[in-house]
């Protein structure tokens, strides 16, 4: 791709080059420096007018103490490890961390002689560990996709369901349930519905460029978002009609819509893992270009970057991960908004930090949310989507009440 050179070189590294000898390289260096300045908030002293902050509109005022990128990654990794251990340890059958570690060690090729009850090993390996790993994969995909959508559409309120993924996945799952095809086809149907919805959205929205407007411009971006709203409304209406005609399946459909990881299995982990790996790899490979895109689409295009192709690549990767997550977990909201915004407030707005930390943080967040869903109303199970919505409400209240947070998210 024409923008491959930009993605592969960290800012400020590499041999110095003469801009006169290589104009494209000089322009790339200038754009990377501008993106770094935007990410660092190089807009003047605290309290300065946000309008003077340049193309990115970011100021140095922070709502939370800033954490260095390396430290942010380390903190997120430790939080994920702690969340995983908590997720495997906490449940109706209380298991201490030591018992969990011993049960996990029994499956290693070489391990010391351990006398672990068979029931404890079964609880850890067949019930809790699949739930925890699936929750981590789903959380990482939703948070990473949310951060990617917010960057590529330059909209701080964009979430993984922006382009109709939720409506398409919900309609696909509803069709499979009301058709009586069995639970084995619900996941493929949800995945297919989500993918078709985004394809329809992008096909309709990108057509804005036919009126003389380039598909890489902000106008086309707005058209894609509006097309997503229209497609979601249409698919939701069809789903509502189907539910009215098949009221006996209401409980099953709503149970899926509200999100549920209580029946997670290793087969579901195997189903989502390849899609999650591909989606995460593509998004992380393009995180530097998302920083370049922050300075503006026209400036990015002037460097030789195909903005339309860049947007399509990131949207496809984010949609792939989100559709896979939706197919196994149902519709779990707010993860793609809460986690990336929290990372921005704590570690800055550079996507070189936001994307990987959001994935780790999203995994930890959803693992802990699943623990809450399993224990708050034990022996009953609260839909995990209810837990994430309860967490998302106070977060938005914080953003609305905090002037500094609003500036940081602008």
Of 235, 142, 249, which is closest to residue 196 (Cα–Cα)? 235
d(CA 178, CA 247): 9
In a domain, 15, yes or no: no
In a domain, 17, yes or no: no
What does the pLDDT look like over 136-173, one tens digit per residue? 999 999 999 999 999 998 887 788 998 999 999 999 99
Residue 73 buriedness (CB in 10 A; 0-12 / 13-18 / 19+): middle
Percentage with pLDDT > 70 across the chain: 77
Of 93, 75, 74, 96, which is closest to residue 85 (Cα–Cα)? 96
Tokens of 181: 């095809």
In a domain, 118, yes or no: yes
**pTM: predicted TM-score of the whole model, two decimal places:** 0.81
d(CA 275, CA 162): 19
In a domain, 209, yes or no: yes
- The domain tally of the chain equals 1
In a domain, 310, yes or no: yes
Tokens of 63: 């709502």
In a domain, 91, yes or no: yes
In a domain, 157, yes or no: yes
Specify the CATH number for the domain of residue 262.
1.10.3470.10
pLDDT mean over 6-11? 44
Q: Name the more confident of 52 and 78.
A: 78
Q: How large is the C-alpha radius of gyration of the chain?
A: 23
Q: In which domain, by residue range, is 206 found?
A: 4-8+23-409
Of 222, 328, 316, which is closest to residue 265 (Cα–Cα)? 328
Kindly indicate the confidence band of residue 37, based on its pLDDT and cuts at 50, 70 and 90. Answer: very low
What does the pLDDT look like over 250-275, one tens digit per residue? 888 888 888 888 888 999 999 999 99
In a domain, 229, yes or no: yes
Non-local (6+) Cβ contacts of 165 within 8 A are 194, 197, 198, 319, 322, 323, 326
Average pLDDT over the chain, rounded to an integer: 80
What does the pLDDT look like over 278-289, one tens digit per residue? 999 999 999 999
d(CA 197, CA 194): 5
């Amino acid at each position: 791709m024409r923008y491959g050179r930009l993605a592969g070189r960290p800012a400020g590294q590499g041999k110095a080059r003469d801009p006169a000898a290589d104009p494209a390289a000089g322009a790339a260096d200038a754009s990377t420096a501008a993106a770094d300045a935007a990410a660092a908030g190089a807009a003047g002293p605290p309290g300065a007018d946000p309008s003077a902050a340049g193309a990115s509109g970011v100021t140095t005022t922070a709502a939370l103490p800033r954490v260095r990128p390396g430290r942010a990654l380390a903190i997120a990794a430790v939080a994920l490890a702690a969340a995983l251990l908590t997720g495997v340890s906490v449940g109706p059958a209380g298991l201490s961390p030591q018992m969990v570690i011993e049960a996990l060690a029994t499956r290693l090729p070489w391990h010391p002689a351990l006398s672990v009850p068979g029931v404890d090993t079964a609880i850890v390996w067949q019930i809790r560990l699949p739930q925890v790993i699936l929750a981590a994969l789903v959380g990482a995909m939703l948070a990473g996709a949310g951060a990617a959508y917010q960057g590529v559409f330059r909209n701080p309120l964009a979430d993984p369901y922006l382009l109709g993924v939720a409506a398409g996945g919900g309609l696909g799952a509803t069709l499979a349930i009301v058709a009586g095809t069995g639970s084995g086809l619900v996941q493929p149907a949800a995945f297919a519905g989500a993918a078709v919805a985004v394809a329809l959205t992008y096909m309709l929205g990108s057509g804005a460029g036919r009126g003389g407007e380039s598909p890489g411009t902000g106008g086309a971006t707005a058209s894609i978002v509006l097309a997503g709203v229209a497609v979601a409304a249409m698919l939701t209406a069809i789903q509502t009609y189907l539910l009215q005609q098949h009221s006996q399946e209401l409980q099953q459909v709503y149970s899926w819509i509200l999100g549920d990881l209580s029946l997670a299995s290793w087969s579901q982990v195997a189903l989502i893992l390849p899609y999650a790996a591909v989606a995460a790899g593509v998004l992380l490979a393009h995180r530097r270009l998302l920083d370049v895109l922050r300075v503006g689409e026209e400036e990015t295009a002037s460097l030789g970057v195909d903005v339309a192709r860049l947007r399509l690549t990131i949207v496809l990767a984010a949609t792939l991960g989100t559709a896979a997550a939706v197919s196994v977990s149902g519709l779990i909201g707010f993860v793609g908004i809460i986690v990336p915004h929290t990372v921005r407030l704590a570690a800055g707005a550079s996507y070189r930090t936001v994307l990987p930390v959001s994935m780790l943080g999203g995994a930890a967040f959803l693992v802990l949310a699943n623990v809450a869903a399993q224990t708050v109303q034990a022996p009953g199970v609260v839909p995990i989507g209810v837990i994430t919505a309860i967490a998302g409400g106070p977060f938005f209240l914080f953003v609305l009440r905090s002037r500094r947070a609003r500036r940081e998210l602008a």
